[in-house]
Amino acid sequence: MASKFFANEVERLVAESIDGMLSLNPNRIARLEQGWPNQKVIVDRERHKRWEAKEAGLPVAVLCGGGSGHEPAFAGYVGSGMLSAAVAGDLFASPPTSAVVSALRNTITESGALVIVLCYTGDRLNFGAAVEAIRVETGLDARMVIVSDDVALRVKGAGEVRKTSARGLAGAMLVLKAAGAAAAAGLPLGDVERVATLVSDSVTTMGVSLTSCSIPGQTRPERTLNMDEMELGMGAHGEPGAIRSKLEGLDKIVETIMTRVGCVGDFDEVRRGSDVAILVNNMGGTTMLEFSAVVGSVRRQAEELLGCKVVRLYAGTYLSSLDMKGFSVSLLRMPDGSGGEELLRFLDAPTNAPAWASHLDQPGPPTLVPATRSRLSPATSFKAADASRTADKNMVSVHKAIERACMAAIQSRDTLNHLDACIGDGDCGSTFARGASQVRDSEAVRAAQSLHEALAVIADVAGEAMGGSSGVLLKIFFSAMASELRNDPDRDDIARAVTSGISKIMLYGGATRGDATMLDSLIPLSETLNAGGSWQEALIAAEDGCEATKSMAAKAGRASYVPGDSQMGVADPGATAVVLILQEILKGI
Amino acid sequence: MASKFFANEVERLVAESIDGMLSLNPNRIARLEQGWPNQKVIVDRERHKRWEAKEAGLPVAVLCGGGSGHEPAFAGYVGSGMLSAAVAGDLFASPPTSAVVSALRNTITESGALVIVLCYTGDRLNFGAAVEAIRVETGLDARMVIVSDDVALRVKGAGEVRKTSARGLAGAMLVLKAAGAAAAAGLPLGDVERVATLVSDSVTTMGVSLTSCSIPGQTRPERTLNMDEMELGMGAHGEPGAIRSKLEGLDKIVETIMTRVGCVGDFDEVRRGSDVAILVNNMGGTTMLEFSAVVGSVRRQAEELLGCKVVRLYAGTYLSSLDMKGFSVSLLRMPDGSGGEELLRFLDAPTNAPAWASHLDQPGPPTLVPATRSRLSPATSFKAADASRTADKNMVSVHKAIERACMAAIQSRDTLNHLDACIGDGDCGSTFARGASQVRDSEAVRAAQSLHEALAVIADVAGEAMGGSSGVLLKIFFSAMASELRNDPDRDDIARAVTSGISKIMLYGGATRGDATMLDSLIPLSETLNAGGSWQEALIAAEDGCEATKSMAAKAGRASYVPGDSQMGVADPGATAVVLILQEILKGI
């Protein structure tokens, strides 16, 4: 576990973190100026403006809070339709009563206030004392709902959960969302409390982790899990889990968790066929790669193992435990009928709270769509795309040239391997020869009725056969030439096509002239052709270019990893291949 | 670094991760069925439906992709107004050309396609080969923009960046967003390419990390940084950074990064006074606690150090490097005038891509609001809230009773400390005595004109003086009593108030009768009073209840951590305190 931190001073980290979140959302959330940073109170800015203006009929205030280290909880849930205020403590420590009183003082209205806390002694006491204090101070109604969704320590079959043993976990975020929406809908305090209690009573959570977390500024003895261990039933602070066991495969872990949160065989076992909402919480240190796989397994097993219909699936970092590598699953049993519809409406209601992802898709199995060859050319040949592409007249000489080129490449194998051995792994000749053999033997190449069709097929065949960077580069070169050509190309058309192929090699490959690659033969070749030179003159230019690679230090490709000195005097094998092949082709023209 | 993973088989992890993301968003993104899992192509489901229906006038297809391990990139950016398709490779490996060809085949239209890649050789070659292949195959226009936003390896003062040395980093996400929006707005391919190139040319990125990342299935020699080291100029795959240096404070680190991404003293130094958009990318392993502090520092220094106006601030995990603890800053120079307005429109345009947070606030310094005492009682006393609360008639006896209670608590100090020493840390008597002394000496208590006012003040004074759980619990008890009482309470009123106080202790404290706490005296007391018993009878019930704690094993509070046996025969000090105080009060009645 990392115990290095991005921080100025550890003592200021929580305050600076809150200010960072505020600076991302200065129009949505604000903090109370007085008491800072001992009292860390974040309020819904828009609501607070209306509150300050003594606007009548403001909805019930909904508050939550707790220790820091659980970001984005709880400041991230402050906003319209969710929390009126959040109170943050220091790292994993409850805020003082005075901070909660201040939060209540600055949000409560005639409609009253509902305070929601996750069941931890410090939070219950400090938030509780504040609720009682504000009642005395204002004579207004303030109430508390305590969320105890952890089922890890629950005694199987027990009719009632022992309050002190059930911690509050990420399921509480669904309580906040529903209660916040109920308040925003204008419900009276008693009804907001009823909604919060309903969700709190209906949600069960269990977590698993592979590591504990590292706490800035704390050098407590690190509880380490062995490499083959995991802990099930974690709290939110790195405290020991209920069960330490062998690390298992993901589906098996999820099966264990789903069985527990579904209370299978227990007094509130989730009913098969019923609707559920699920929240999968990343405890902070699980990679998004793994986490998505977790989410997929959870959804599948909720349906297949528990027989439930997953109507909503929340996935993300809702209540982190600093950098703990773990996740938890919260299962919310939706009531039947109109109660379920009402609850879904509250869960779906819009909010501008920074950390609540509002636009949720309806979950389901992955959607697969059939791949078609192309909408535009449902036939099987590239030719379908362009009706103007028909047969070339002089295909006999084209096929002869291809045959010669392939022979040249095959016969040059040892020469090229030898050159490559001086600067690379000595397989350049073999690679070219392999591609050339397959091109020579290809039925599709033989069937090509135009130079551009032949080049397109060669691009595929050679690219596939050669593999590696050189295969892809030749594929790019020949494809680009094929794109450029039309039927019965003349010398100028071919020169343009070669130029196009070169530019694409440079674009995608990132090399340029003077890097000791095949470009050092190809570029002089194309320049000579484009300047009106003959093929023989172009060949000479290519040969000169190839010769020049003997005094170059490779800057691209594999040879660039070899010290420059040891390359001196050796021609680049790619540049040499171009020359050898070109020489052979020109013999036949 | 963790090298334990949530996975079934490592070989299936990438595919299962993509399927998990798909199952969260089955109506928004889908994957091509054929070729899976070798070809991992994720498409915008809605667009694909229209594409399949051969709807005319579909916008330019915008595609991206690359190795996996960068989640939510790139599947998370598929959606309306962003990517038409993403192509995923294996972990940190480019997808094969064939997968990219398949993606292009299933998205390209007469309007053409723009492929955006981050500058890594494998991606340039494979995506490049596919672009060329699709041009040959369909005759349609497909183009590529390569993003090279990394400035870590840039040579200061150089007029042009050496292509192969500048990697593509998280700044590319802004390219995707702008190009996707430009395509959705109906712009032709050339203009979409222009927008992508503009952003690509205007964005500079540099990262820092404290750890490398752990790659599932790879046991490569772990490059470790010392505890006092960091690396600046990281790539996205855990490759070594450009500079390894001493770990510094956060603001200092951010200063170094802002100086580099602002190209201070370099050829494209950001202009003071100009508008910029900033993307702060969590590489995966930075806690949200730290990350928000990072974001705050970045925004502040962009304004104070570079003199820029930050018009947009994106913060989150946009391009992760598995679990690497690090972050990068991408600085996008906004063009002046209408070009800047157009770009901002594209950045702000809606998208339903799962990983793009659409609702962005305008960044700025944290907003502070003044805390007021209460909107309802701007005066300083709790009495303002309830005009019916006036003076009690028999305040003389109330003050006498308070005096006696305080004396009793002070005199019981040693007795209670002795009892507490058997089960706790022996300070219970001192704690009670400290609270009682301060209550006795309190001017505010003496000034109270009613029992409920006195109790409210005692709640504050005793709670503050005692501290710890017992202070909060007494604060809760007395506050709840104060809330319940009105002027001139009779015996029944007081009994109800005591009952209310008890219920709040149980609610917030989590203890109940039989847990060997002060409740074991208080509950029998209130039950007797509520059943019509006299104060003397209630005292006897409390004494019996206290006596019973001698045979209880504590289940709540500090004493619950002590083995049950050692508690036997010892009365709970809290329960004893209640009895001793009550005895003294009743002597005066």
Collapsing DSSP to helix, strand or coil, A85 comes out as: strand
For residues B90 and B14, give the distance between their C-alpha atoms in angstroms, rounded to a whole number. Answer: 7
Q: Which residue has the tokens 């379920």?
A: A340
Cis peptide before B37 (omega within 30 of 0): yes
**DSSP helix/strand/coil, A155:** coil
| pLDDT number for residue B67 | 95
Distance of CA A132 to CAs A120, A142, A296, Å?
18, 8, 44
Looking at residue A414, what is its pLDDT? 94
Give A-chain residues touching B10 at CB under 8 angstroms.
none
Helices within A3-111 (DSSP H only): 10-24, 45-52, 97-105
- Cα separation, A429 vs A141, in Å, equals 86
Q: How far does A547 lie from chain B, in Å, by closest CA? A: 25
Query: What residues in chain A have per-residue pLDDT under 50?
Result: 1, 157-164, 221, 377-385, 387
pLDDT tens digits for range B47-79: 999 999 989 899 999 999 999 999 999 999 999
Nearest to A454 by CA among A438, A434, A478: A478
pLDDT tens column, B163-189 = 446 899 999 999 999 999 999 999 999
Torsion of CA B567, B569, B572, B575, to 10 degrees: 160
- Contact at 8 Å (CB) between A12 and B293? no
Q: Do A508 and B128 touch (CB under 8 A)?
A: yes
CB proximity A182 to B under 8 Å: no
Q: Is the pLDDT of residue B17 over 60?
A: yes
Distance CA A292, CA B22 (A): 9
Q: Which residue of A lies nearest to B20 if distances are taken between CA atoms?
A: A296
Radius of gyration of chain A (CA): 35
The DSSP bridge pattern shows strands B40-44 and B85-91 to be antiparallel
Q: Note the pLDDT tens digit of each residue in B315-341.
A: 999 999 999 999 999 999 999 999 999
Nearest to B368 among A30, A315, A362 (CB): A30
What the block records as the tokens of B355 is 């990983």
% helix / strand / coil in chain B, to the nearest 5? 45, 15, 40
What is the pairing mode between strands B142-147 and B85-91? Answer: unpaired
Tracing tokens 């005292």 back to the chain, one arrives at B539
Q: Do B375 and A109 touch (CB under 8 A)?
A: yes
Mean pLDDT of B277-301: 97
Whether the Cβ atoms of residue A193 and residue A178 lie closer than 8 Å to each other: no
pLDDT at position A149 is 94
pLDDT of residue B143 exceeding 60: yes
- The candidate with the shortest Cα–Cα distance to B508, out of B475, B481, B545, is B475
Residue with tokens 């800072």: A36
Which pLDDT belongs to residue A161?
45
Phi, psi for A487 (deg, rounded to 5): -65, 150
Q: Which of A139, A195, A190, A176 is nearest to A62 (CA)?
A: A176
A541 close to A523: Cβ distance less than 8 angstroms: no
Would you tell me which residues 243-262 of chain A have a C-beta closer than 8 angstroms to some C-beta of chain B? 247, 249-251, 253
* Contact assignment for B374 to A138 by CB distance below 8 Å: yes
Q: Which of A23, A100, A119, A257 to mutate to test the interface with B (most CBs of B within 10 A)?
A: A23
Q: Which residues contact A128 (CB under 8 A, 6 or more apart)?
A: A144, B472, B476, B504, B507, B508, B509
> Which pLDDT band, with edges at 50, 70 and 90, does B384 fall under?
very low
DSSP states along B144-190: EEEE--B-TTPPTT-SS--GGG----TTHHHHHHHHHHHHHTT--HH
Strand partners, A243: A232
> Chain centroid to CA B177: how far?
25
The pLDDT of residue A163: 42
Q: What is the pLDDT of residues B421-439, one digit of tens each?
A: 888 778 899 999 999 999 9
pLDDT (0 to 100) of residue B220:
55
Helices (H), B229-336: 250-261, 288-304
Taking CA–CA distances from A279, the nearest residue in chain B reads B24
Residues in B closer than 8 angstroms to A226, CB to CB, are none
What pLDDT was estimated at residue B236? 86
Instruction: Assess A167–B contact: CB distance below 8 Å, yes or no.
Output: no
The proportion of chain B whose per-residue pLDDT surpasses 90, expressed as a percent, equals 75
Q: Which residue, among B221, B203, B214, has the nearest Cα to B148 in the 3D structure?
A: B203
Choose between B305 and B163: higher pLDDT: B305
Nearest by Cα to B377 from A132, A137, A84: A137
Cα–Cα nearest to A103, from A93, A113, A91: A113
Question: Which pLDDT tens digit goes with each residue over B257-288?
Answer: 999 999 988 878 999 999 999 999 999 999 99
Length of chain B: 589
Query: CA nearest A86: which of A347, A281, A353?
Result: A353
H helices of B349-390, in order, are none
For residues A508 and B143, give the distance between their C-alpha atoms in angstroms, rounded to a whole number: 11
Task: Give the tokens for residue B492.
Answer: 């029944």
Which one of A78, A287, A386, A560 makes the best mutation probe of the B interface by having the most chain B beta carbons within 10 Å?
A287
Q: Which residue of A97, A138, A327 is in closest CB contact with B472? A: A97
CA distance A38 to A518: 68
Q: Please tell me the predicted confidence (pLDDT) of residue A227.
A: 87
> Are the beta carbons of A20 and B251 separated by less than 8 Å?
no
The whole-number pLDDT of residue B159 equals 46
List the single best residue of B19, B137, B319, B380 to mutate versus A (max A Cβ within 10 A).
B137
Test A128 with B68 for CB contact under 8 angstroms: no
**B327 neighbors B291 (Cβ within 8 angstroms):** yes
Q: How many helices (H) and strands (E) does chain A have?
A: 19, 13
pTM: 0.91
Helix axes B337-348, B172-184, angle to 10 degrees: 90
At residue B379 the predicted structure's pLDDT band, cuts being 50, 70 and 90, is very low
Chain A touched by B532 (CB under 8 Å): no
Residue B528 Cα to chain centre, angstroms: 49
Chain A residues in contact with B385 by the CB 8 A cut-off are 137-140
Q: Cβ–Cβ of A366/B30 closer than 8 Å?
A: yes
A 36-55 residues with CB below 8 A of B? 36, 41, 43, 45, 48, 51-52, 54
**Which residues touch B277 (CB under 8 Å, ≥6 apart)?**
B174, B310, B311, B312, B313, B314, B332, B334, B344, B347
The string over B382-407, giving b where at least 16 C-beta atoms fall within 10 Å of a residue's C-beta and e elsewhere, is: bbbbeeebeebeebeebeebbbbbbe
Task: Say yes or no for a CB contact (<8 Å) between B1 and A2.
Answer: yes
Q: What are phi and psi of A466, to 5 degrees?
A: -80, -40
Rounded Cα distance between A481 and A451, Å, is 10
B555 to A253: CB separation less than 8 angstroms, yes or no: no
Q: Distance between CA A559 and CA A555 in Å, rounded? A: 8
Q: What is the pLDDT of residue B557?
A: 60
Return the residue of B nearest to A161 by Cα: B510
If you measure CA to CA, which chain B residue comes closest to A297? B20
Q: Find residues 83-142 of chain B whose CB sits inside 8 Å of chain A.
A: 91, 97, 102, 105-106, 108-110, 119, 121, 124-129, 132-133, 135-140
